[in-house]
Amino acid sequence: MEQNEVVLRAIGILTRSAQWRRQVEAGDAGGDDPLGDGRGGDDPLGEDPGTGQIAALLAEVFPSVPVREEATALEAAHAVTEAALPSVMRLIGAFTYVFAELAEAHDSGRTDITSEQLLRELALRMSRAGDAV
């Protein structure tokens, strides 16, 4: 998965999180709790397709790590850590990039655009060929 795709998926999750927040504030979080903190139903992952976005992103970004059957626990942990580190860095980079864009608009005092509009604008910019993070 290219970094632009990871950023676009992060934007989708952040856009969806605005809906999660509105539903929680309205007291209508039934099953729609992305963090599993007890406000949104019995399933800690929630029943909302938005939480599926998070799981799908993690499944696509993180590699499958084969571990030898005779590997020790320490060897297995090292193999998983080594394989997962680039994916962790890509995810952190994507969310950091989007956060920085939102923070810049906020800090500059822009009132002509909402965070959701800015996320849509950023997604359009990122989806154009040649635009890279």
Tokens of residue 75, six digits: 């060897």
pLDDT at 45 over 60: no
Q: Where are the domains of the chain?
A: 3-127
Give the model's pLDDT for residue 43. Answer: 42
CA proximity to 35, closest of 46, 26, 19, 25: 46
CB of 53 closer than 8 Å to CB of 6: no
pLDDT, one tens digit per residue, over 83-102 is 999 999 999 999 999 999 99
Average pLDDT, the chain: 82
pLDDT at 126 over 70: yes
Mean pLDDT of the 18-27 span: 81
Give the model's pLDDT for residue 20. Answer: 79
pLDDT band with cut points at 50, 70 and 90 for residue 28? low
Number of H helices, E strands in the chain: 4, 0
Give the model's pLDDT for residue 48. Answer: 56
Q: What is the DSSP letter of 63?
A: P
Give the model's pLDDT for residue 73. Answer: 96
Give the model's pLDDT for residue 19. Answer: 80
Give the model's pLDDT for residue 32. Answer: 46
